[in-house]
Chains A and B, each alone.
Chain A
Amino acid sequence: MRKNISKSHFTSYLILIIIGFIMIFPMIYLVLGAFKSNQEILSNASIIPQKLSLDGFVNGWTSTGGNTFLTYLLNTMKLVLPTVLFTMISSTLVAYGFARFNFFGKKQLFILLISTLMLPNAVLLVPRYLIFRNFNWLDTYMPFIIPAAFATFPFFVFMMVQFIRSIPTELDEAAQIDGCNSFMILWRIILPVCKPALFSVGIFQFVWTWNDFFNALIYISSVDKFTIQLALRMTLDIASQTNWNQIMAMSLISILPPIILFFTAQKYFVEGISTSGLKG
C-alpha cells in the first residue's frame, strides 16, 4: 500500500516536471537568447549561450524610433500607474457601496454590474474610440486612465465586493456608535482589512495594463508616446528577421516589471484569482 502511494507520487512528479519544463522553456529560452549573439541564435540550437554577449541590449536599447527604450518604459509607467491607482480607488468606493448599504434597486444594479463582466469589449470599440476622439483624448493616456477612475472594470469591483462582504459588520456598527461616518468607517476599518484584496486589484491591473497591446495600438499614434508593447512591435517590424538578439533582449526588458511584481507579490496573485473565482 505504502509503496503504491509513493509510486503514484513518483509518476505525478514526473509528469509535473516534464510538463513544467515545457511550460517554462520558452521563458528560459528568451532569457538566455537575449544574451546570445544574433549569429548564435540562428545557427546553434544549444540553449546555453556559448559566449555571453550584451549586443542585444546595447543595440536594442537605442534602435527603435529615435528614442531609447527608457522613453517607452517611462511612457508605459505614465499610463499604467495612474490607471492602477484610479482602479484601486474607484473599485473600493463602489464595492463599499454595494457591500455595506441597502439602498433601493441595489440588487438590480449589482446584477447589471455583474452582467457587464460578460460584455464583449469588441462591441464598445468603435463608439468608445469616437467618444475619446470627441474629447480630444486620442494619442493621450486618458482613454486608459479616465475609465479606470469610473470603476469600469467590473471584475475588480466584484472582487472587492466579495472581500468586503466577508468582513464582519460588528466593527462597522461599533464605529458608528462611536460617531464615525460612513467614509471614516471605510477609511479606518474596512480599508486596513482590505489590503490584501486591494493589492490583488492593483497587481492584476498593473499587469493587464502593462501587457495591453490592443488598446495602445488603437489610441496611441505618435512614436514619442509609444508604450513598451508598441515599441516592441515596431522593433519587430523594423528588424524583421535580422536582429533576433535585440528583439529578445527588449522583450526580456518588457516582461521584467510584471515578472518582478509576480515574484514579490505572488501570494496576492493566487489569492486574487482564488477569491474572485466565483465560489457561488
Chain B
Amino acid sequence: MQKNKKKDRIGYLYILPWIVGFLVFQLYPILASLYYSFSEYSLIGEAEFVGFKNYIQIFTEDRDFKNSLIVTFKYVIYSLPLKLMFALFIAMLLNMKLKGINIFRTIYYIPSIFGGSVAISIIWRFLFSHEGLINQLLAYINVEPIAWIGNPNLALYNIGLLTVWQFGSSMVIFLAGLKNIPEIYYEAAKIDGASKIKMFFHITIPSLSPIIFFNIIMQMINSFQEFTSAFVITKGGPMKSTYLYGMFLYDNAFKYFKMGYASALSWVLFVIILVFTGLLFKKSSMWVHYGDGGDM
C-alpha cells in the first residue's frame, strides 16, 4: 500500500511537462491578456494602465467592432448548422451498409484534410472569381457572371460555404457514433410500427446527442475565430462584409500594434464564446442523453 502511494506520486513527474506548459503557455497568457486589456501597449516601452478605456471604446466608438461582430454571428449561424446537418445526413447514408462505403468516406473526408490551408482558399477564390469556373459554367446556360466574391451580400455566404464543404471530420465522428447505436433499438421500433422519421427523432438523435453536442461546441469555438478564408479570399471585403472578428482582432494586434486594445477584443470574444457555451450546456440537459454516464 505504502509502496503504491510512492508509485502514484511518480505520476506528477509524467504530467510535469503539461503542468509547465499549462502555466507558461496558457494560464500566464490568459492572466496577462486580462491585464493588457486594461492597458495601452504598442510594443514600444511599457504597457500603460488605462482602466476600462479600451472596453469603453470598443462598445461606444468602434464601428468595426459592431460590424465584425454581426458578420461573425451571421457566419456562425449560417455555416455551423448547415455543416453539422450535412455531416449527419451523409453519415447516415454511409451507415446504410452499402458497398464501397470506404471510397465515399474518403472522398467526403478529403476537403477536411486541408483545414485552413491557403491552397483551399486559393481554389475557392478561383472557382468563384469573376472569370472563375462557376461563372464560366453559368455562361454556358447564358447566365450573366455573378460577383460571388465581389458582392457584399454574397461574399460571406461564399466563405461560409467553404466551411460547410469541410464537414468531413464531423461526419466521421457521427459515423462512429451511429455504428454504436444498438441495432436492436431500431428492430424494436420497427415491430412497434414506427416510421423512419420517428425512429430518427426518437432513436438516432437521442443516441447521438452527446456527440452532436460536442460537435456543436467545438465547431462553434472554431467558427467564432475563423481567419484564413476571409483573409485570403476576400481580405475582409467587399465593404467589410466578410470582416470576421478573427481578422478584426489580427488587424488591431499585428497591423496597428494596439496590443492592449486587441487583448480587450479577445476578452470580449472569450466572454461571448463562454456565454454561448454556458447556454448550450444549460440547455443540453433538455436534449442530450448520456447512455452510461460520461466516464471521467
Question: Interface residues, chain A, CB within 8 Å of chain B?
Answer: 9, 12-13, 15-16, 19-20, 23-24, 26-27, 29-30, 33, 42, 44-45, 90, 93-94, 96-98, 100-103, 106-107, 109-113, 116-131, 133, 147, 149-152, 157, 182, 207-208, 210-214, 218, 229, 232-233, 236, 241, 244, 247-248, 251-252, 254-255, 258-259, 262, 266, 269-270, 273-274, 277-280
Contacts and interface: CB of A to CB of B under 8 A. Distances in A.
In the complex, the 3 A-B pairs of residues with the closest C-beta atoms, listed nearest first: A101-B11, A150-B21, A97-B14
A211 B228 CA distance: 10
A24 B110 contact: yes
Interface hub of A45, A109, A118, A127 (most chain B Cβ within 10 A):
A127
A181 to B, nearest CB: 8
A12 B8 contact: no
Contacts of B176: 273-274, 277
20 contacts: A9-B96, A16-B98, A29-B127, A118-B217, A120-B224, A120-B270, A122-B246, A124-B29, A127-B30, A149-B17, A150-B18, A152-B26, A207-B115, A210-B117, A211-B117, A236-B118, A258-B113, A262-B110, A277-B173, A278-B214
Interface string B171-182: 011011100100
A20 B102 CA distance: 12
Interface in B14-44: 14-15, 17-22, 24-26, 28-30, 32-33, 36, 43
A252 B120 CA distance: 10
A125 to B, nearest CB: 6
Interface string B264-281: 001101100100010000
Interface stretch (B57-65, B73-81, B134-142, B149-157): B134-142
A113 B127 CA distance: 41
B256 interface: no
Chain A contact residues: helix, strand, loop or mixed: helix
Contacts of B246: 122
Interface of B: 7-15, 17-22, 24-26, 28-30, 32-33, 36, 43, 90, 93-94, 96, 98, 104-111, 113-120, 122-127, 129, 131, 133, 136-137, 139-140, 165, 169, 172-173, 175-177, 180, 210-211, 214, 217-218, 221, 224-225, 227-228, 231-232, 246, 249-250, 253-254, 259, 262-263, 266-267, 269-270, 273, 277, 290, 292-296
Contacts of B32: 127, 130-131
B266 A213 contact: no
Nearest to A236: B122
A270 B168 CA distance: 10
